[in-house]
Amino acid sequence: MGTGSGRVIDLRSDTVTLPTEEMREAMRTAPLGDDVFGEDPTVNRLEEMAAAKVGKEAALLVPSGTMGNQVALLTHTRRGDEVILEANAHIVHYESGAPAVLSGVMLRALPGERGLLAPEQIEAAVRTPNIHTPPTTLICLENTHNRGGGSVYPLATLQAIAAGARARGIPVHLDGARIFNAAVASGVPASAIAACADSVMFCLTKGLAAPVGSLLCGPAEFIARARRFRRMVGGAMRQAGVVAAAGIVALEKMVDRLEVDHANAHRLAAGLARIPGLLLDPGRVQTNIVIFRLAPPGSAAALVRAVAAEAVRALAIAPDAVRMVTHKDVEAADMDVAVAAVGRHLGAGGPA
């Protein structure tokens, strides 16, 4: 139904992207070895490429972005420390409580503006050393910000946060799951964004469409320590070159095309914003994530069910909020199909 072709327009996440033929071929032919012995040439090549791409000394391949963030926390902090981050951060919402279980840290979650923190907010939250208080030993930022609707930190804001953190000797970890979306949308190189953080994690599996893998990047000494924590949480892999091969294609071929995803997100947002009962400022859509709210008594779950019946998939992220994410496996015309499906559900009519 809906598309007339039987094809599903899956806008739940950019993680649904399937690997390209070139990735599959690279996976089939990659030179392999035992990466726990440091002997997988394809993993070593991907780690070198990744580090260079974000301007860090070294990188570590991990199975998921969650593991990358958690290994970063384990490496930067000690039990009882306090980590400053934004209240809607992925680390707070979607990592199964791992900071409490694995690192044993306190999370100091500050309310941001579409997920973005202001330098003064962070400055005010940093603890002064005192036996009563948990020491602030890490600041985590997220760019682009997932629950913030794909928002991008202005470079000047990141630089101000970095300068403040450096002055106090507190490291910054960047959850850059979608750092290349931020780079492409803002025209700022990923290395300049990452220069505002000591460590950065990015995902190969979002818009870059690789099947598995994220990279934790930072100083060589930090990555050497992180390597032990990756082992500890079970993330040390053997012939991981099979997945690294797809990651190399992702970094070489899939970054520049993210601008297509952003253009499609703008088209989607412009169409959705015209539907009565739907709350969305299309001017705020910066990358590939579109989050809209429903005027009362609208139900996100009911909307998601209704459009699914028309082969359009979206995600309810709150009782009144829906997320749609663009990626390489959807195209411009699909945006109009999705808008029409939402419009029909909300009773706006619109051409079938």
Ligand X SMILES: *Cc1c(COP(=O)(O)O)cnc(C)c1O
Q: How far apart are CA 287 and CA 53, in angstroms?
A: 20
Residues in the chain, total: 352
* CA–centroid distance for 186 within its chain: 16
Identify residues 128-187 at the interface with ligand X (CB under 6 A).
142, 146, 175, 177
Give the pair of three-digit tokens for residue 101: 């279980």
**In the complex, which residue's CB is closest to ligand X?**
65
Q: How far apart are CA 139 and CA 76, in angstroms?
A: 10
For ligand X, the closer of residues 146 and 151 by Cβ is 146
Work out whether 250 is an interface residue with ligand X (CB under 6 A): no
Helix (H, G, I), strand (E, B) or coil at 227: helix
* DSSP conformation letters of 272-335: HHTSTTEE--GGG--SSEEEEEE-TT--HHHHHHHHHTTTEE-EEEETTEEEEE--TTS-HHHH
- Interface region with ligand X, contact rule CB under 6 A, candidates 73-81, 114-122, 200-208, 253-261: 200-208
We find the least distance from the C-beta atom of residue 24 to ligand X, in angstroms, to be 20
- Interface region with ligand X, contact rule CB under 6 A, candidates 22-30, 65-73, 153-161, 302-310: 65-73
For ligand X, the closer of residues 90 and 266 by Cβ is 90
We find the least distance from the C-beta atom of residue 263 to ligand X, in angstroms, to be 21
Q: Report in angstroms the alpha-carbon separations of 196 from 83, 205, 308, 326.
A: 17, 23, 41, 27
Among 203, 217, 240, 265, binds ligand X (CB under 6 A): 203
Work out whether 217 is an interface residue with ligand X (CB under 6 A): no
For ligand X, the closer of residues 42 and 214 by Cβ is 214
Query: Taking a C-beta distance cutoff of 8 angstroms, is the pair 200, 158 a contact?
Result: no
We find the least distance from the C-beta atom of residue 351 to ligand X, in angstroms, to be 34
We find the least distance from the C-beta atom of residue 344 to ligand X, in angstroms, to be 30
Work out whether 64 is an interface residue with ligand X (CB under 6 A): yes
Task: Lay out the sheet containing 106-110: strands in order across.
Answer: 58-62, 214-218, 199-203, 172-175, 136-142, 82-86, 106-110
Q: What number of other Cβ atoms are within 10 A of residue 205's Cβ?
A: 25
- Interface region with ligand X, contact rule CB under 6 A, candidates 80-88, 202-210, 236-244, 247-255: 202-210
For ligand X, the closer of residues 199 and 337 by Cβ is 199
Work out whether 65 is an interface residue with ligand X (CB under 6 A): yes
Among 214, 286, 287, 288, binds ligand X (CB under 6 A): 214
Work out whether 207 is an interface residue with ligand X (CB under 6 A): no
Q: 313-348 burial, b for 16+ CB within 10 Å, e for fewer?
A: bbebeeebbbbbbbbbebeeebbebbbbbbbbbbee
Work out whether 261 is an interface residue with ligand X (CB under 6 A): no
For ligand X, the closer of residues 17 and 146 by Cβ is 146
Residue with tokens 């902090």: 77
Query: Taking a C-beta distance cutoff of 8 angstroms, is the pair 76, 139 a contact?
Result: no
For ligand X, the closer of residues 213 and 271 by Cβ is 213
Question: Which positions touch ligand X (CB under 6 A)?
Answer: 64-66, 69, 90, 142, 146, 175, 177, 203, 205-206, 214
